[in-house]
Amino acid sequence: MTRSVLWDSSAILALLDADDADHARAVAVARGIASEERPSFITNYIEVEAHALLVRKLGRAIARQWLLTGGLPVVRALPAEEQRAREILARHTDKDWTLCDAISFAVLDARHIARAFTFDHHFRQYGRIQVLGS
C-alpha cells in the first residue's frame, strides 16, 4: 500500500476554520501527516466540493485563496474510477454517500491507497480505509 493520504473536504474545512469543532484535531493530524512526510492529495471532485464548502462556510475570499494556493496536488479521477463510483452507489443503496464520496472510495481502491484525512463518517462506513481525523 502506498503511503499517500487523500484529504477530504471536511478535513480542509476543519483545518481552515478555527471555529470548527474539529479544528484542533485537524491541526494535530495535519502536523502528523507532515512530520511523517506522507504524500498528500485531493481529487478534482474534492477540489470542487471543498471550494463550494469554503465559499459557504468561510466566504469567497478564503475559498479563492485556498483554491489558488491550496498546495495539495490534484489527482484527476479516471473514467474507470468514476464508473466504479457509480457501481459503489448502486450496490450500497442503504447509504447516503455522495458521488464525491464514492469517487474518493474508487480512487483509493484503484490506486491501493489506504488512508484518508477526513471527518466524514461515510469513509468509516465504507471500510477498507484508515481514517485519519474522526
Domain boundaries, the chain: 2-76+112-133
CATH number for the segment(s) 2-76+112-133 = 3.40.50.1010
Close Cβ partners of 93 (under 8 Å, ≥ 6 residues apart): none
Res 128: pLDDT: 83
Q: What is the pLDDT of residues 18-73, one digit of tens each?
A: 999 999 999 999 999 999 999 999 999 999 999 999 999 999 999 999 999 978 99
> Between the CA of residue 66 and those of 43, 56, 111, 133, what are the distances in Å?
15, 13, 26, 20
pTM of the model: 0.94
